[in-house]
Amino acid sequence: MESLKKQIEYAAKKARTVAVITGAGMSKESGIPTFRGPEGLWKNFRAEELATPEAFRKDPKLVWEWYEWRRQIVLKAEPHEGHKSLAEMEDYFDDFLLITQNVDGLHPRAGSRQLIEIHGSIHRTRCNTCSHKMDLPPVALEIPVKCERCGELSRPDVVWFGESYDEELLGRSLEFLSRADMVWIIGSSGMVSVPVYLAAHASKNGAFLVDLNPEEAEFSRYCDINFRGTAGADLPRIWSGIKEALS
């Protein structure tokens, strides 16, 4: 572990352009369940059965119930020290970008600003009919949620399985990753193909890749360092070593 930390510190000292990609494991120590594995289950449904346009067409109330259950957990959660470490990183490199798959909003709450929420936000809705977007208040909602403008059904403003990513956000992510010197991938299983694609893209363009996850992930094989640890406990320790090395 110590020698891995030293290697990361050495790579970070040389890096100018740094990107971080985070997945559900990033928020686990804030008490937010990940998507896969036994704890990802909700009333015996898997995420893949609920986070789809088909599921919403078939039963909007059920999908809203799941999102509202998750939103209430998120509203009670607090960003942990790992989220705060990533917010601090912005100030230490010439160019920095955090790309998160998480819709929970814990990164902006921890202070991250150079941020792309590539899967959208659980705190926002989008009308199915007029596309009007609404920010949700931090209180329990009457579901399914209706659009404040036209009164039709609204959906969570997130990317579902089988849907396209926002082209502008994906384009900005790829552009950044093609010139990044160092890329961290934290708490993502890589079962959704985009992080694997982004990591492969960065690796092809010569970035030094660090995978921080208690388990092996889909893109671990592209990474220069596989750090088996957690976002809440280990990331702050690694980051404090880097800060020392940079000062």
Tell me which residues are annotated as active site.
119
Q: Is the dihedral of CA 6, 10, 13, 16 positive or negative?
A: negative
d(C-alpha 113, C-alpha 104), whole Å = 15
Judged by CB under 6 A, the residue of 42, 45, 92, 161 near ligand OAD is: 161
Instruction: Give yes or no for a contact between 245 and 216, defined as CB atoms under 8 angstroms apart.
Output: no
d(C-alpha 207, C-alpha 99), whole Å = 16
Distinct helix (H) and strand (E) counts, the chain: 9, 9
Judged by CB under 6 A, the residue of 12, 18, 19, 24 near ligand OAD is: 24
230 contributes a contact to ligand OAD by CB under 6 A: yes
Instruction: Give yes or no for a contact between 190 and 159, defined as CB atoms under 8 angstroms apart.
Output: no
Judged by CB under 6 A, the residue of 35, 67, 208, 219 near ligand OAD is: 35
Q: Are strands 154-158 and 120-127 parallel, antiparallel or unpaired?
A: antiparallel
What is the footprint of ligand OAD within residues 100-129 (CB under 6 A)?
A: 101, 119
Give residues with Cβ within 8 angstroms of 6, minimum separation 6.
none
Q: Using CB under 6 A, which of the segments 70-78, 138-146, 180-188, 219-227 binds ligand OAD?
A: 180-188
192 contributes a contact to ligand OAD by CB under 6 A: yes
23 contributes a contact to ligand OAD by CB under 6 A: yes
Q: Using CB under 6 A, which of the segments 58-66, 165-173, 207-215, 219-227 binds ligand OAD?
A: 207-215
Q: Which residues bind ligand OAD (CB under 6 A)?
A: 23-25, 28-29, 34-36, 40, 47, 51, 101, 119, 159-161, 186-189, 191-192, 213-215, 217, 230-232
